[in-house]
Amino acid sequence: MLKLKWYFKRYVVFPAIVLTLQSLCIMKEALQGLVAFIVCRKTPSVVRTPDDCFRGIERLGYAFEPNYVELPIGGGKILPRLHYVDEGPRDAPETILCLHGEPSWSFLYRSVVTRLVNAGHRVVVPDFIGFGKSDKFTAMEAYTHELHTMTLRLLLDHLAITNVTLVCQDWGGLTGLSVVKDMPHVFSRLVIMNTGLPCGMEFSFSNIGRVMPFLLWRSFARLLGTAMPIYDIFKRGLINPSNAVLEAYAAPFPSRLHKAGAAKWPLLVPLTSHTTVATDMKATRDFLASQWKHPVLIMFSDRDPITRGEVKTFIRLIPHAVTKTVVGAGHFLQEDKGEELALNITSFIDGKL
């Protein structure tokens, strides 16, 4: 009976919800286009989250000095102001680069950073444009996979760091691993957590149960757009979070103008192979399988419904990788098991895993 209910939920209820949500999305977008045509509203192209929104987060373990840079992209143009954490000794033998995903920011790594710095490492954690303390485009169309990879490449050039250990999760994996492909000379190790390299989904009866949870999330994200409830997303995604922690995750997004980046990232995950993101993901897979010979730690949690099953892809691509399962953690395993992650990363760098 339980198996029958599971099949009914996965193969009937979920697809019906997705189709309903997609229909509502089409209606919403048509209405928005009509309203935009009738009512001309002047909105800034870039906004900055006021510092007051982050007041008190040092009491939650995020007491790092802010670092800001405006990265030039040529022709006299610069990117919006980028924020990054840069802690630990500048002359450390290696630098650990930690990348967040959707819809989080560098706050996610606070306990990991503290422990890695105490172990003697330099740790850099940027907030991607549209997130955290970085500036934010107000138009969803401004956010692309190319924007985020370009931003990361330029930041690495700006910092002039090498011998980098990449620690990545969620969209930090899609972005960071793509940059590893583009700049392999900068990186020496990879720590891959709760992420994937999607090249387009294969829609068949046999795998519909696996892809349906993501399609539901993507459909909700498309329907909600910049009305995305960041606080509630983390309330559902974290294990026993406090109100103060939830408010800290929502702090960078005080209005809908600040949420365009968070609203766009789920929509960039390729549904078919005929997209630029899918092409880059395929090239990244090929690079990892054929050219990456350096150490890799694959560290997925056991309670993540979003990237469940993706660990097998990375094990197949990188058979020499060390694998660790983080028990009792959800999608945001840095929040749920930060101390364990830091211990594993330190042991991995020291060659003890």
Q: Catalytic site residues?
A: 170, 304, 331
Rounded to 5°, angle at Cα 324 from 320 and 327: 160
Tell me, rounded to whole angstroms, the distance of Cα 307 from its chain centroid.
12
50-87 burial code (b ≥16 CB/10 A, e <16): eeebbeebeeeebebeebebebeeeeeeebbbbbbbbb
- For 132-186, give the DSSP string: TTS-EESSGGG--HHHHHHHHHHHHHHHT--SEEEEEETHHHHHHHHHHHH-GGG
CA-CA distance, 337 to 304, in Å (whole number)?
A: 13
CA-CA distance, 165 to 295, in Å (whole number)?
A: 10
Rounded to 5°, angle at Cα 34 from 32 and 35: 65
